[in-house]
Structure 1
Amino acid sequence: MASGPHSTLHVGSAAVLKLGTGLRETPPVPWSPISAGGEAQVCALGLTAHRPVLQRHVLKIRRAVRSRSPCSLELATPRKGTLLINNIFAIIPAILMGVSKVARAFELIILSRVLVGICAGISYSVLPMYLGELAPKNLRGTLGTMTEVFVIIGVLLAQIFSLQSILGNATGWPILLALTGVPALIQLLSLPFFPESPRYTLIEKGDEETARQALRRLRGCNYDVEAEMEEMREEERKEREEGRLSVLNLFTFRPLRWQLISIIVLMAGQQLSGINAVNYYADIIYTSAGVDPTQSQYVIVGSGVINLVMTVVSAVLVERLGRRILLLSGYGICGSACLVLTVALLLQSTVPELSYLGIICVFAYIVGHSIGPSPVPSVVRTEIVLQSSRTAALTVDGAVHWLTNFIVGLAFPSIQVAIGAYSFLIFTVLCILTAAYIYVVIPETKGKTFVEINCAFAKRNGVEFPEEKDVTMAEPHTPSLPSKQTSF
């Protein structure tokens, strides 16, 4: 399979496409003029203390709504074309946020966050499809997790830039907000040189020669692309039995029932496992351990470094150990960390030394989430559905991801006030339930073709998947049939 410089092209794709996402995904502190410029700057903009919180929730709702957009946009526009158009929703907000201080208009920040939400919703669904379809099966897991690596790099860069000694201050925050447009500009200038998805070109458009050229460019001139071309033809033949599915059809289509449930469980479990709650509570834990509140920003950067290192480890191990082991071990670590954190928070008033155990639990949780629950679902969700249903499935995936993210962000502060440290027991239970589902239902997908993975789900769905035919000669390709709803 592809390796060497051509593998570098795959990873380069992920770097260009996902670095900007990380800058846009930075935790709320750097975005808030309250933290960056103090109360005087807030008043100068006309903001109240509640409006930055409103911005965050508006952003999450907008992402959930706009995660449905790829289903219609992607049908009319190729993967690469969709991503190119999507840069508009990153560059324009960067400009608006950059001039918001000069214009003395907080409305520009809120409007920009809405537009950034559109960008995040579209890229979250379309980008995994594009990269998953570019990668050979022996690099699919690594490339999928490398996208998360570059998201974390973007987050870490934003955390560094938002330090008060750099740009997180009254004069520097407009520049900080405007930096999100730089990666989008780089993507806009460089993405045209990357090939279109070969699977999209062959299966959706019926253009064999263009697909073959794209494969040769990705895999190298000496690579025999015909075997991979035939595998894509085989997938296209299976899909003729299925037809193109809309989001509504997907919920009633029996051959994809457990794939859809698995996508929902993976993405809901990723958010409901408590990652945002742990980040929310981290400052309190650091302060209780004696960390000066003004210095906690450096501890947060340190946790970002750990997040990055462990996500790189996951990218290295995903094609060696498989998806299931990383997911199960990650949820096991997260659930255990939440359990011990509960005990530490309950007893630290009587045993002050336990406050240090709380910090260890936070870092252990970050390690566990970075190994499995954070990067691996983006790989699995692309692998368990075929081409014709992938757009609809990832639309559901994006909606579930952002809605559960919103629910946790909205509900956890109230839950924490009501039951205190016991709130982390909820996440322990949810981690256990998610791990149990993965153990029972989701098969290992490492090194398998998309067709083989769907065959593994066929028995659980109660359907017979058409048997693969031995093909000795390449058959003439005919484009996919018009949209229809049938069973396999």
Structure 2
Amino acid sequence: MAGGVVVNGGGRRRYEGRVTGFVIVTCLVAATGGLIFGYDIGISGGVTSMDIFLERFFPAVYEAQKKATGENQYCKFNNEMLTLFTSSLYLAALIASFFASKVTKAFGRKMSMLLGGIVFLGGALLNGFAENVEMLICGRILLGIGIGFTNQSIPIYLSEMAPAQIRGALNIGFQMAITIGILAANLINYFALSMGEKGWRIALGLAGVPALIITIGALILPDTPNSLIDRGHQEQARDLLKKIRGTDNVNDEFDDLVDAYQKSKQVENPWKNIMKRHNRPQLTFAVIIPFFQQITGINVIMFYAPVLFKTIGFGNDASLMSALITGIVNVVATAVSIVCVDRFGRRALFIEGGLQMIVTQVIIGVVLGIKFGVTGTGTLNKDDANLVVALICMYVAAFAWSWGPLGWLVPSEIFPMETRSAGQSINVSVNMLFTFIIAQCFLRMLCVMKFGLFFFFAGFVVIMTLTVFFFLPETRNVPIEEMYGVWKAHWFWNKFIPDQMLGHHANKNVEKC
């Protein structure tokens, strides 16, 4: 040990310090921002499957599904205005994430979180009191702006606050909050079904509760040492780092943060810099990870689980109960990821989850193809329905311990300070773009592609699993300011990283402890 830093057996630096209660509580509070994203994902699908909601706002869909008995089950919810209700949020989040990047860098991570919570609260109130479709969609846009800000800032906050050895587990707290939000929404949808108009208003309006939680949380949280240094508060950053690590001996880690800041000051335009050759690996994965995350088809399940189950033959109560079951599986499987991500690494979870999703999607497609065929006029008996629910649960579990949490974790930890905020904005914007596309197109795709839709998504899961296997290096236990070394050691990406990008600490004379 020398100067507060040790080198582990793999040659990677590990700073002195311990995992403190302060950093655990801080990260848990910040991670609650995921509740607003998860609640919205879960609530919209349940509300849009309620007859009383459809009859008031989307009467064409309501009439179509009443007439769908014995007809094509794949197409009875196909309505562009209905999908716009769901997908408008994600288009707003896409645009907001770029503004969030500037706020996050100029005013700190917590300011973005605070703004996101406040705007989301406004959207929840507007939806809860909606009298027409226009009010609903305006509310959804406000919700999207709030999600754009929180999803841009919270993963960065968590990666910067957490010690490297448990960074994965703490960052996945954000995904855990998303899954808890989905589960809470599914529970509320189930009980709201029998409450008439009051039910859907309560369901939509209760989105204000997680918004209040993150708003209050952002008011009491400290900003990260990285952000404080970036904004010129170096002594405050040093004191906070001591509190986070539980030791006064933080000189080496602090020096590395300051060194990263000095390098970032040489970058006049982060958006221009992120396009340079030495940032090509990070930029590539900031684009393809969120793209692949959405093209797994997960949001087909999460947005439209009640609609999907209703489409394949479940009644109102049964469809919402099935969605509730998948929500419980989602939470439990995310907890598995928290336990495993820093023990087995990111690559292992990515690959195993991908293989499991491929198998389950193919079997679901086969079952639906056999039972409904191309015409969509068949039915599912009880055993078939139970099999579909079980397969969907296996699929959700695979996503929840792999591509779900890692889609937020990995992009947030691979960028240097000078491009971190811009990189996370790209991650969020790509995620929201394809979330919007999938949400807007799913019901039409289901009508046209029928059971083949599951084969379509399975094909993309094959591609993304192979991409991770060959091109994504392991980032477990690597301090985020040393991430260039990971790319330099990779067989494909090493030619993009010049030696001078490895940082001043690459040549430090440290002793093994």
| TM bracket, shorter-chain basis | 0.7 to 0.9
Structure 1 residues 368 and 447: alpha-carbon distance in aligned structure 2, compared to 1, 3 A threshold: same
- Cα deviation 1:386-415 (Å, max 9, x = unaligned): 011011111111111111112222333333
Q: Which range moved further: 85-94 or 431-440?
A: 85-94
Cα 1:98/1:450, change in 2 over 3 Å: same
Q: Secondary structure at the match of 1:82?
A: helix
Determine if the alignment matches structure 1 residue 310 to structure 2 residue 325. no
How many Å separate the matches in 2 of 1:112 and 1:280? Answer: 17
User: In 1, distance between residues paired with 2:408 and 2:286?
Assistant: 10
Q: Which one of the candidate residues 226, 231, 241 is aligned to 1:205?
A: 231
Name the residue aligned to 2:74: none
- Answer yes or no: is 1:404 the counterpart of 2:434: yes
Query: Which portions of structure 1, spanning 4 or more consecutive aligned residues, are displaced by more than 6 angstroms?
Result: none
Are the aligned partners of 1:16 and 1:187 in contact in 2 as well (CA < 8 Å)?
A: yes
Output aligned runs, 1:418-437, within 5 Å.
418-437=448-467
Question: Equivalents in 1 of 2:335, 2:89: separation in Å?
Answer: 28
Could you tell me whether the CA contact under 8 Å between 1:339 and 1:425 is conserved in 2? Answer: yes
Superposed, 1:114-129 pairs within 5 Å as 114-129=141-156
- Identify the residue that residue 414 of structure 2 maps to in structure 1: 384
Partner in structure 2 of residue 228 of structure 1: 253
> Are 2:18 and 1:2 equivalent residues in the alignment?
yes
Give yes or no for contact 1:63–1:117 (8 Å, CA) kept in 2.
yes
RMSD: 2.9
d(CA) in 1 for partners of 2:177, 2:397? 17
Query: Which position in structure 2 is the counterpart of 1:154?
Result: 181
- Residue 190 of structure 2 aligns to a residue in which SS? coil
How far apart, CA to CA, are the structure 2 residues paired with 1:320 and 1:432? 25
- Alignment partner of 2:214: what SS? helix
For 1:105 and 1:150, how far apart are their aligned partners in 2?
Answer: 31
- Cα gap change, 1:207/1:428 in structure 2, threshold over 3 Å: closer, same or farther? same
- Equivalent residues of 1:285, 1:358 under 8 A apart: no
* Contact map agreement 1:14 1:143 (CA 8 A) in 2: no
Partner of 2:468: 438
CA-to-partner distance for each residue in 1:321-351, whole Å, 9 max, x for gaps?
Answer: 1111111111111111112222222223699
Q: Answer yes or no: is the 8 Å Cα contact 1:35–1:168 preserved in 2.
A: no
Q: After the TM superposition, which residues 26-175 of structure 1 pair with which residues of structure 2 at under 5 Å, given as runs?
A: 26-32=42-48, 35=50, 37-38=52-53, 41-42=56-57, 51-100=81-130, 104-165=131-192, 169-175=196-202
The amino acid that maps onto 1:449 is P
In structure 2, distance between residues paired with 1:60 and 1:288: 24
Equivalences, count: 463
Contact map agreement 1:2 1:223 (CA 8 A) in 2: no
Amino acid at match of 1:455: G
Unmatched runs of 5 consecutive residues or more in structure 1: 474-488
CA positional deviation for 1:243: 1.7
State the partner residue of 1:243: 267
Structure 1 match to 2:342: 319
Q: Which amino acid aligns with 2:260?
A: E
Q: What CA distance in whole angstroms lies between the structure 2 residues aligned with 1:289 and 1:399?
A: 32
SS of corresponding position for 2:274 = helix
Q: What's the CA shift string for 1:129-157, capped at 9, x where partnerless?
A: 11211111112101111110011111111
Change (3 A) 1:284 1:389: closer
- Paired position in structure 2 for 1:332: 355
Please state how far the C-alpha of 1:244 moved relative to its aligned partner. 4.7
SS at match of 1:122: helix
Percent of residue pairs bearing the same amino acid type:
23
Give, in whole Å, the separation in 2 of the partners of 1:269 and 1:6.
35
> How far off its partner does 1:263 sit?
1.6
SS of equivalent to 1:188: helix
SS in 1 for 2:499: coil
Structure 2 unaligned regions, length at least 5: 1-16, 64-78, 374-379
1:56 CA displacement: 1.6
Amino acid at match of 1:315: I
Contact 2:192 2:203 in 1 (8 A): no
Asked whether the equivalents of residues 32 and 174 of structure 2 are also in contact (C-alpha less than 8 Å), the reply is: no
CA contact (8 A) 2:291 2:434 kept: yes
State the distance in 1 between where 2:133 and 2:310 align: 31
Instruction: Please tell me whether the aligned partners of residues 306 and 319 of structure 2 are also in contact (alpha carbons under 8 angstroms).
Output: yes
Pairing 1:258-273 to 2, within 5 Å after superposition: 258-273=281-296
User: Alpha-carbon deviations, 1:438-463, whole Å to 9, x = none?
Assistant: 11111111111224321222453533
